[in-house]
Every structure is written in C-alpha cells, then in structure tokens.
C-alpha cells in the first residue's frame, strides 16, 4: 500500500503496437506491475506525438493512427521502484522510461475498513490536549474558521478533533458571544478540542495560529485510553497517531 510522503513516479512512453512476446508491450507492462503488487498504474493513449523515429503519429490522419504513443504511469516507494526497474528496463525495447521524485499527499481508498473482529484493545499513554477558542463567525479565506482548522488538522494527520459550540461567552475583546435574534445571525463561541502527541500538536499549533486573527489556545497534559479494534496494517501505517 502506498504511503504519504516522498515517493517515485515512473512514466514509460511506448508505442501502441510495440510487441513483447507476441503481445502488446503496454499490456505486458501493466500485467507485470499488477503481478508485482504495485498500488496502481494508468495507461493513457495519446492524441498525437512523435518519438525518436521523428515520425508524427496522430489520430487525425488514418494512416498514421497505428503507432500512437501510450504513456504508462505509476507511483511507488523508492525501494519498490528499484526492485522493478531491471525488469522494466529489459521489457521496454522501444520507448522511454522516466523516473521522478514526487510527494504523495493523500492515499484514500473507498474500501470500508473490515468490520471489527473480536474485542477492542486498550492503548494507554500520555498525550497533549489542545483547546482552541474562537467565534463562530470568524472566517478564514471566506470559509468558517473552525471548518478550515479542522480540515488543516486532518491534512496533518492529527489523531482527532471535535468542534463544540458554546451557548454564551465572552473573551478578552469583551464582546459577548450569543445567538442573535434572527436564525443564522449567530456569533456563538466555538471551541475545538484536539488530542495528540506533543510533537504533532507543536507542528499543528503554528499552522493554526497563522490562520487565527484572534482567540485563545490552551494546552494541558492528559492521560489517554484509546479503544481500538486491532487492524495491524492500518496501525503500522499511521504509527501511534
């Protein structure tokens, strides 16, 4: 399974009609990648192009449609790419292989986690609790600040966060936050509570701080008991998040 962070992106340019053991080279490469457990690969047929032979291939003229370029792309860890490269090098008898450094931002899968099997396990330890106080009507680039902060925390793989809406309150600025007479004219206090390790919160706090105009951030040390259903592969992927 592909993970967030640095990775390699491999792009292979071949011709549609290049043969490999009496089959299409493109099919052979995809079959090989699938067999090796590569997390995903895409082959795209081009509209037009030319290669080392300096011949234009295009869909516009029927005679020239036979040799259209195909681009195969996949992203994998550096080690996996090193492992695959000798075979790919051998297979591509006519074409180009290119490797570049890339950064995987998100790996999402629609597959639902398998339903919990057996009892949960308890994970105990100490962690840090961060409470962020703001107003409900505070905005960050046009969207509600609490939503923007929540999204940012999620991007940073913070273990969890909850947004609470207060019913009354005031802060240093002295104005009372309370619900308006009209529906939607709210400026109630909002508090986001976040629990994670000290290091991860330290990173998160500077991001959050840059998004806030005015507010309060409060930290305390907490003991956590996490109840999790053991799913070894996800646990190892996300560390002790």
Partner 1 sequence: MGTVKKAKLLRLHFGEGDQYNGKPLYEAIVNRCKELKIAGATVFRGLEGYGETAEIHRHHLIRKDQPIVVTIVDTTENLARLIPEVEQMMDTGMIATSDVEFMRIEKPPTAA
- Helix (H, G, I), strand (E, B), or coil: what is residue 145? helix
Nearer to partner 1 among residue 109 and residue 210 (C-beta): 210
Nearer to partner 1 among residue 92 and residue 145 (C-beta): 145
Site string for partner 1, 174-213 (x = CB under 8 A): --xx-----------x-x-------------xx--x--xx
Residues forming a β-bridge with 130? 194, 219
CA angle (231, 232, 233) in 5-degree steps: 100
Site string for partner 1, 53-82 (x = CB under 8 A): ------------------------------
Contacts of 1 by beta carbon, 8 Å cutoff, 6+ apart: 39, 107, 233, 237
Torsion angle of C-alpha atoms 131, 132, 136, 137, degrees rounded to 10: 180
CB 188 → partner 1: shortest distance, Å?
A: 9
Contacts of 205 by beta carbon, 8 Å cutoff, 6+ apart: 130, 217
From 19, 27, 40, 170, residue interacting with partner 1 (rule: CB under 8 A):
170
CB 43 within 8 A of CB 16: no
CB 214 → partner 1: shortest distance, Å?
A: 6
Residues that bind partner 1 (CB under 8 A): 131, 133, 139-141, 164-172, 176-177, 189, 191, 205-206, 209, 212-220
């Amino acid at each position: 399974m592909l993970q967030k962070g640095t990775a390699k992106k491999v792009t292979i340019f071949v011709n549609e009609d290049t043969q490999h053991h009496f089959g299409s080279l493109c099919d052979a490469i995809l079959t090989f990648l699938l067999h090796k457990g590569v997390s995903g690969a895409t082959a795209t047929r081009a509209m037009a192009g030319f290669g080392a032979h300096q011949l234009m291939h295009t869909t516009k003229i029927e005679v020239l449609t036979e040799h259209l370029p195909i681009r195969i792309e996949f992203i994998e860890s550096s080690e996996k790419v090193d492992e695959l490269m000798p075979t790919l090098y051998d297979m591509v008898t006519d074409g180009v292989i290119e490797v570049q450094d890339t950064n995987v931002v998100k790996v999402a899968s629609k597959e639902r986690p398998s339903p919990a099997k057996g009892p949960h396990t308890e994970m105990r330890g100490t962690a840090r609790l961060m409470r962020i106080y703001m107003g409900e009507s505070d905005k960050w680039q046009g969207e509600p600040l609490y939503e923007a902060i929540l999204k940012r925390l999620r991007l940073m793989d913070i273990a969890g966060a909850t947004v609470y809406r207060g019913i009354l309150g005031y802060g240093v600025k002295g104005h009372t936050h309370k619900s308006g007479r009209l529906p939607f004219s709210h400026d109630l206090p909002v508090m986001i509570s976040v629990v994670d390790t000290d290091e991860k919160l330290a990173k998160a706090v500077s991001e959050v701080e840059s998004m806030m105009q005015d507010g309060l951030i409060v930290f305390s040390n907490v003991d956590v008991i996490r109840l999790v259903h053991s799913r070894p592969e996800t646990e190892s992927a996300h560390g002790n998040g």
